[in-house]
Amino acid sequence: MAITTEMIKELREATGAGILDCKKALEQTDGDIKKALDILREKGLAMAAKRADRQTSEGVVEVYNHQGTGRVGVLVEVNCETDFVGRSDAFRTFAHDLALQVAATSPQYIKEEEIPASVLEHETDIATKKAREEGKPENILPRIVEGSIKKFKDEVVLLNQPFIKDETITIFDLLKQTIVATGENIIIRRFVRYSLGESLED
């Protein structure tokens, strides 16, 4: 099948990959854009993994005020390797989207490893008691509890959450896409969300 400029353009817009990479992927898959997309995503994720140990000392602190009302405010620090990428549209858009995500979904942690063991034990206890109260058989309790813990993590962990602008991907996917697009390691360093009237204990 002949590889057209339109096909290359479509694939490039979907992945942010270079023209030659898009052309090669299309040639490998005989013009099948879906398969070519998978190849480029796998390649991009592999490249992103290789960049994971690079130092990140540049970046931005993104400030977001929800709809200008002053009722919800978010600060997010996102780091990259160079000031050049830190000033790029792709990086700034990513930082802004993260701030929007935090404002909308109120995550408590960036990644699963940050969840204290005591919190997981508490959630496990609640899920177990709930399943027993609902009369679930003891032999399937572990599976039910595992599902409840996964749901809890997906709600409170930023990287696990579905992206509010495109729920077919997670924030982790969005991060990897941005790493591929910018060619640098990117780290979500920290965030804080303030809501007017909330107590300091919230």
The Cα 137–Cα 129 span in angstroms is 12
Query: Token pair of 137, please?
Result: 């058989």
Tens of pLDDT along the chain (202 residues)?
Answer: 788 888 888 877 776 666 787 888 899 899 888 888 888 776 665 455 555 566 666 889 999 987 767 789 999 999 998 889 889 999 999 999 999 999 999 999 999 999 999 999 999 999 999 988 888 888 888 899 999 999 999 999 999 999 999 999 999 999 988 988 888 889 999 999 998 877 655 4
Q: Contact at 8 Å (CB) between 187 and 159?
A: no
| CATH 3.30.479.20 residue window(s) in the chain | 58-111+157-195
* CATH dotted code for 116-155: 1.10.286
Over its C-alpha atoms, the chain yields an Rg (Å, rounded) of 21
What's the pTM?
0.69
Residue recorded with tokens 């817009």: 13
| CATH 1.10.286 residue window(s) in the chain | 116-155
Q: Which residues contact 186 (CB under 8 A, 6 or more apart)?
A: 56, 59, 78, 79, 80, 91, 94, 175, 178, 179
The CB density around residue 108, as the number of other CB atoms within 10 Å, is 12
| CATH 1.10.8.10 residue window(s) in the chain | 5-51
User: Which CATH class, in words, describes the domain spanning 58-111+157-195?
Assistant: alpha beta
| 157: DSSP letter | B
| Architecture of the domain whose range is 5-51 | Orthogonal Bundle (1.10)
